[in-house]
Chains A and B, each alone.
Chain A
Amino acid sequence: MGLLAPAFLAGLLAIGIPIAIHLINRERRVVVQFPSLMFLHKIPYRSIRRQKLRHILLLAMRCLALVLLVAAFARPFLQRHSAGTSSLLGARERVVLVDRSYSMGYSDHWKRALDAARAATRGLAGNDRATIVFFANDPVAATEPTANPARLERAIAAAKLSSEGTRYEPALKLAAQILSASNLPRKEVVMISDFQRVGWGRRDDIQLPSGASMTAVDVGGSSPASDLAVTQVSTDRDRVGERDRVTVTARVTNVGAVARTVDVTLDLGGRAVETKKLTVAPKGVGQARFTPNAVPTSATRGTVRITHDSLPQNDAFNFTLTPGEAVSVLVVQPSKPRANQSLFVSRALAIGDRPAFHVDVKSEDALRAQDFLARSLVVLDEVPPPAGALGAKLRESILAGTGLLVVPGDLASGRWSTEWRPLMPATLGSVIDRTRDAGATVASVDYGHPVFELFSAPRSGDFSTAHLFRYRQLVARGDTGVIARLDDGAPALVEKTVGAGKVLMWASSLDEYWTDLPLQPVFLPFVHALAKYAGRFGDARGWFVAGDVLDLSRHGELTAPFVADAGAGAAGDAPLVLESPSGHRTPLTASGAEHLSTLSEQGFYELRGPGTAAGSGRPIAVNVDPKESDLARFDPNELVAAVTATPGTGAPASGTAAAPSELERGQTIWWYLLVVALLLMAAETVLSNRLSKAEVQSM
């Protein structure tokens, strides 16, 4: 038992008032001389005793009411280890949210957080249950709701810092779910964190279940943080003579209040290449620009690091340097093409540099099987799919991941071999001539599709200005997707996934023969997006941020070497292995069912194909979220007030979760004491009134 406001115990002196009155009344009955007690003796004595008892009862009620009032104001609480607590006030469902974002590695914050988590689970009584949830970007429940202290302790002992940033919202949502599913009467959340501002969006709308209380345990300390972090690295390429060069520039941020000078070192391929001294102003940013280096011939690991300080996780920044990776496109045109038939598409693709497109234009009669090797995309520009061995080779390439864009034009469908029919996303209908009504327009596009994602924002491209004067009626198959439709509802662009590859079909032409689309501003980005998507080429990224999901189906540049190595026998489901910096291996496929993996560790992952030796795979750099380096904090009470219907009154506990204010707030014994005191007072009033009435009647 403890008291939150013991000074109120001084109010117990007030008990002296009724006692003094009682004693004074006793003093007044010194003696009354009476002629004879003969008549009084005839009255049964028990009635006298009873009346005396009533007076003593009244005195006791008054004193007890005063004691209860004083006790209520003193705000008592029962210690957690009290065995009777749970049974008295009901069992608790407690969710302990422990922030394990990498900013918790600052100073001794992580150790303090674990200590606070232990304290929060230590005092659980008989029927109480607790759940340990570690959270960074996403929350992970380390235990089921349990009353077993050993399990909770094991979960806490096994906890490790994450490389991810902080997001409070998902953690609170999980806590709300756990509490909502609980049937225990008392619900509590204890959040242990350094309460970084970047983790809490003020518009986050989370509400804990009604009646749930929340305690914020701030382990961030009160002193301002002092930290240097490498928050960004850029690689600028240029060409000097025949050599490609890359210049690495690192951005170093100082969140402290004192200017700091640090050594900034560039590592390439595991070897320190150059070190520079950099002085960063307080609350400022400095840049370290290294000497240009030759672009390596294969994907190479690069790291910019500074001298370790109080938060070592953000003192290194990893990246991958790769040779120029281009999307290889083969445009196949008829043996007798129109003038400039493939000019627009080849020129449009030639402009790109992120990625660069290498476009080869070949006539259908000059086509060879090796032309399909290492191609990301094959465009059949009004050419029927090749038949025979050539066709089979192309189909293999498609199954392995090569994209195919089919532009049927006015080709007769009878020229298509039957082997291709299952791969086509649509069957060909008649040619529609819309020259009389100024042509059709692209009226409906799927902006969620990667091809049109670029145009989803306002004023980022207007397809309605393009006119399709003639187009081929496409009858989409059941398992194909229509990505864009014309104003009469006819499909304009359809796609089908075949193995690891994509097959797309465009209803009109790629030159100005049937449409004026090539003359519109949207043509170039449209063709680029189409080629990148069909060629399975994602944005080549030098690094990922911890917590990102790696989608191999959208990063053909990562899987292309292994798919090519797999050769004709490999397909999209070729087994790949992703090894994390800590050595954990995850089996993946380029585009099959398991093409997703979360990159949660800081450092270099390695993607390997079948037969690839360890260390020879494709490195994938993963860095901590640079936003997390901003150690600015916010008031935990804001969070508590935002997520609880009835925010707590106490200040956040420091260091331990089982703070007296939190205990007292959870138990609210004062409320019961106050109610009992008021009931006693009411009973005393009724009783004394009755006695007074009896007295008046007897007068």
Chain B
Amino acid sequence: MTKLNVNGRAVSISASPDTPLLWALRDHLKLNGTKYGCGMALCGACTVHMNGEPIRSCSTPLSACAGKNITTIEGISTNGLHPVQKAWVEFDVPQCGYCQSGQIMSAVALLNKNKKPTDAEIDAAMSGNVCRCGTYQRVRAAIHKAAGVVTNVKVEA
């Protein structure tokens, strides 16, 4: 039994301690917004926050989560949309949408630390999140928008 806090709620999960947090969230808590993509921390689809830091839940065993605060895509906003989600809506970022929970969690973590990231800082924070539909240009624009930067900021081509 592992006790942790998920989206502000205390939960006890009865699963083997080597179970990745991703599968505990999905199969035990039925929080299906966090996605499985690679199982090796290579694609970022499973990104959640642990005590405010972005982590890859596919490669984080439940044993490492005891007593920690976990935030998932379902937990980033309690009343409607987070500013990052609003920016995502404004730019119609998602295509297939499968990687977008992870993209958004990485973007939220970035903006929590860096109010106005540059393109290079966005690259550094977001390059661990793979999108096969190729939404990167809109992800970048939406992050700038959410950061309060004018959207048609001159992008270094």
Q: Do A and B come from one complex?
A: no
User: Interface on B for A, CB 8 Å cutoff?
Assistant: none
User: Interface on A for B, CB 8 Å cutoff?
Assistant: none
